[in-house]
Structure 1
Amino acid sequence: MIHFVLLISRQGKVRLTKWYSPYSQKERTKVIRELSGLILTRGPKLCNFVEWRGLRVVYKRYASLYFCMCIDEDDNELEILEIIHHYVEVLDRYFGSVCELDLIYNFHKAYFILDELLIAGELQEPSKRTVTRLVAAQDSLVETAKEQTSSITNIIAQAAK
């Protein structure tokens, strides 16, 4: 089971967090601070698995972001690396070539994609095509709602004249 997902920039700024195990806000802050210091200081040629507090942290660096997932000690680390890569590939398909700014300005989409991939810390949807289709369907619904809101606003404005 995945306990939490963190996306951390090379500067140590948190870009995305998703918690699947109960942690208080104080514990979350401490976890982020500890793992940021631990992962950011590791050399690029070191292993992508870190033993931490009786758990295992699996991370992978893509461009300027570290994608980190915390799992139980007996879980398969290579499967988690595949899940991380799967998430990055879906983000790339959606944003073109995903970068840190995409996640900053469209964080809601990054969370939506993560929620389509993982549920309660377990892989929900292994198909990139299905996730991409679901995200496109949600975008279509949002555009339809915006158009309806715009037309209602225009009707109200004309009626008020």
Structure 2
Amino acid sequence: MIKFFLMVNKQGQTRLSRYYEHVEINKRAMLEAEVIKSCLSRSKDECSFVEYKDFKLVYRQYAALFIVVGIDQTENEIAIYELIHNFVEVLDKYFSRVSELDIMFNLDRVHIILDEMVLNGCIVETNRNRILAPLFVLDKVAEG
């Protein structure tokens, strides 16, 4: 099961966070700081899977952004690694070459995309067209 999904820039600023199990607000900040520090300090030659406390971290870097997913011991790391890539491809398709600014100024849209892909910590959809369908409907309503 997925415990949390983070998107962080190279300066360690969280751009997106979604938790799939309850974590108190003050503990979230501490957890994010530790997770970010452990992932950003690794070199590009090191593995993208990290054992951390009682769960695993799976991360990928795209330009200046890191996407970090916390998972329990039963989850498949490679599947999560591919989920991260699929998430970025969906963002690229929707935003036409997504950037950090797209994420910052359209956070609601990014959350909708993530919510279409992951529900209660489980992957529910990977098809890009199905993921983006609700957003295209929202965009048409906004235009008309």
User: TM class by shorter-chain length?
Assistant: over 0.9
1:53 positional shift: 1.0
> In the alignment, is residue 120 of structure 1 matched against residue 120 of structure 2?
yes
**Corresponding residue for residue 70 of structure 1:** 70
For structure 2, which runs of at least 5 residues remain unmatched after alignment?
A: none
Q: 3-state DSSP class of the match of 2:129?
A: helix
Which stretch shows the higher mean deviation, 38-47 or 123-132? 123-132
Name the SS of the counterpart of 1:15 in structure 2: strand
In the alignment, the residues of structure 2 paired with residue 13 and residue 93 of structure 1 have an alpha-carbon distance, to the nearest angstrom, of: 24
> What SS is found at the alignment partner of 2:51?
strand
Counterpart CA distance in 1 for 2:126 and 2:105 is 26
Quote the offset at 1:71 in angstroms: 0.4
Structure 1's unaligned 5+ residue stretches are: 145-161
Deviations 1:81-127 (A, max 9, x none): 11101100100000000111110111111111111111101111121
1:121-160 aligned within 5 A: 121-144=121-144
Tell me which residue corresponds to 1:103: 103
User: Aligned residue for 1:83?
Assistant: 83
The equivalences for 1:14-53 within 5 A come to 14-53=14-53
The sequence identity of aligned pairs, in percent, is: 35
Partner Cα distance (1:67, 1:142) in 2 = 30
SS in 2 for 1:133: helix
In the superposition, the TM-score normalised over structure 1's length comes to: 0.86
The one-letter code sitting in structure 2 at the alignment partner of 1:143 is E
**Alignment: residue pair count:** 144
SS of alignment partner, residue 21 of structure 1? coil
User: Normalized per residue, which structure has more helix?
Assistant: 1
**Aligned AA (2:63):** A
Query: Equivalents in 1 of 2:98, 2:86: separation in Å?
Result: 13
Range moving further from structure 2, 132-141 or 120-129: 132-141
Compute the displacement of 1:11 (Å).
Answer: 0.8
Larger radius of gyration: 1
Please list the CA deviations of residues 108-161 of structure 1 after superposition, one character each: whole Å capped at 9, or x if unmatched.
1111111111110111112111112221012222334xxxxxxxxxxxxxxxxx
CA distance in 1, matches of 2:20, 2:125: 17
RMSD of the alignment, in Å?
Answer: 0.9
> What is the DSSP-based 3-state SS (H/G/I as helix, E as strand, rest coil) of the residue aligned with 2:97?
coil
Question: What TM-score do you get using the length of structure 2 for normalisation?
Answer: 0.96
Moved over 3 A (4+): none
Instruction: Indicate the SS of the match to 2:109.
Output: helix
